[in-house]
Amino acid sequence: MEKIISITAYNLKHQSILSILVAAIALFITPILFGTAQLSLTEAAVPLELFVSLIGIVLLTPVFEPEQDEAIHDVAASKYISTNYVYGIRTVYGVILIMIFTGLFTSFLSLRQCDVTLWLYLGTVANAIFLGALGMMAAALTNNTVIAYMIPLIYYALNYGAGAKLGNYFLFSMRIPDFTPKLWLGITGGLLILGALIFQLSRGR
């Protein structure tokens, strides 16, 4: 347990601090871009789905980034801690941070007398995890974080054009409101994360 805490603290401070700051800034910007007072359930879904869920890309996509630098990877590989172990820790605290940040913003909406439910919270978390998982998988397959950021952003943009035609993978379904796609997005996101970690393990990175 002490080892886990030590690795987590080091990575939060040295590897993930920028991602955390960007996610926090995104939450502060959201009330400027969207109305956040006395919203109905479908209205409250708008800032959550359109903006807050993007924090998943910021927090999960760069899980493999530090070791993509060969010099850093060689140093990390020479240590007694497996890089795959470190990837797992980064992934876990990335998901936890998504849940915390989303919880903070939904609490803010609730204080602003918005109709916020547990389903809105869970749906936003599912969105964020799915988008972040797309980035993680892209990073694992390409070994390029820049490309990895582009994949979930392209899919996000696709939702504006294709809309509900994406079926159970429509990101903005809570505005309809339809919460079924969130189950699919959450499960698929979890599988993509698992697949990305396994792929990294198979490459010995």
As a whole number of angstroms, the distance between CA 167 and CA 178 comes to 10
Listed as own residue / partner, the contacts of 149-154 with beta carbons closer than 8 Å and 24 or more positions apart are: 149/57, 149/61, 152/56, 152/57, 152/61, 153/57
From the CB of residue 170, how many other CB atoms can be counted at a distance below 10 Å? 22
As a whole number of angstroms, the distance between CA 63 and CA 189 comes to 15
Nearest to 37 by CA among 52, 47, 22, 23: 47
Distance of CA 36 to the CA centre of its chain: 22
Task: State the number of CA atoms in the 13 A half-sphere of 175 facing the CB.
Answer: 12
Summarised one tens digit per residue, pLDDT across range 98-143 is 999 999 999 999 999 999 999 999 999 999 999 999 999 999 999 9
Residue 180 neighbours by CB under 8 Å, 6+ apart:
168, 173
Distance of CA 102 to the CA centre of its chain: 10
Task: State the number of CA atoms in the 13 A half-sphere of 71 facing the CB.
Answer: 0
Summarised one tens digit per residue, pLDDT across range 54-103 is 999 999 999 998 876 554 444 444 455 778 889 999 999 999 999 999 99
Residue 1: the pLDDT is 73
Residue 71: the pLDDT is 45
Going by pLDDT thresholds of 50, 70 and 90, the confidence category of residue 193 is very high
For 26, the domain range is: 2-202
Distance of CA 185 to the CA centre of its chain: 12
Going by pLDDT thresholds of 50, 70 and 90, the confidence category of residue 10 is confident
Summarised one tens digit per residue, pLDDT across range 147-164 is 999 999 999 999 998 988
Over residues 2-10, mean pLDDT: 82
Q: Structural domain tally of the chain?
A: 1
Structure tokens at 33: 């871009």
Cβ atoms of 116 and 109 closer than 8 Å: yes
